[in-house]
Amino acid sequence: MATRVPGALTRTAAPAVAAVEALTRGFGERTVLDRLDLEITRGEFIALLGRSGSGKSTLLRALAGLDDEAEGGLSVTGSVAVAFQEPRLVPWKRVHANVTLGLAVPDAKEKADAALAEVGLTERAGAWPLTLSGGEAQRASLARALVRDPDLLLLDEPFSALDALTRITIHQLVLDLWSVHRPAVLLVTHDVDEALLLADRVLVLDQGRIAHESAVPAPRPRHRDHPDLTSLRRTL
């Protein structure tokens, strides 16, 4: 377990994919995360709800190791990948190069090919990011996360800018990818239906803590038999 060290995040090995203990982060006078506790189990799918400004992105940044100023205990086992609301592709690199960016493994090219195939973007591998549709850019962002083979996949409102039909397709894609690769997923969303549809566990962040938590009862419509998709296929 992580030990609490004031003024610093401690990173230690733990049986859970991630464990957060008394995580505290403020900006100026404002305390955004207030001794927050959270444990993420290997392979689970969590949806994180909360009002705008409640600290969801701040929590994700700390989990991703992008925040040096949070205090408290944080332990993450294995690798973490993040996909943001805006895909944040580097505009002067083609899609394939965006996926392999910073990936220091010998078979990076092959891994990127495979990830792009998985998200259905093989034909856009050589495209410039600015020529992609919103859904394609989000797929590229998912491929970039997947290629890192994460144990913990952090998704910060990745679907909110997409139109409804694209969103349904990408929901399906995320569930498919999750069921194959089985990373733990922490998905930030504003959409309660989306949370209940995708997640095993729904958390609500309020007043700097996990204020509410509920397990989503199984069985739920998932994967190929998802009713949204079935009716969508009928319409198309």
Binding residues for ligand ADP, per CB under 6 A? Answer: 27, 32, 50, 52-58
Least distance in angstroms from the C-beta of 209 to ligand ADP: 13
| Partner whose binding site includes residue 135, from ligand ADP, Mg ion, none (CB under 5 to 8 Å by kind) | none
CA gap 236, 225 in Å, rounded: 16
Nearest residue (CB) to ligand ADP, 23 versus 168: 23
Nearest residue (CB) to Mg ion, 57 versus 141: 57
| Partner whose binding site includes residue 3, from Mg ion, ligand ADP, none (CB under 5 to 8 Å by kind) | none
| Partner whose binding site includes residue 50, from ligand ADP, Mg ion, none (CB under 5 to 8 Å by kind) | ligand ADP
Least distance in angstroms from the C-beta of 135 to ligand ADP: 22
Which single residue brings its beta carbon nearest to Mg ion? Answer: 57
Nearest residue (CB) to Mg ion, 56 versus 171: 56
Least distance in angstroms from the C-beta of 224 to ligand ADP: 32
Instruction: List contacts with Mg ion (CB under 5 A).
Output: 56-57
Nearest residue (CB) to Mg ion, 3 versus 52: 52
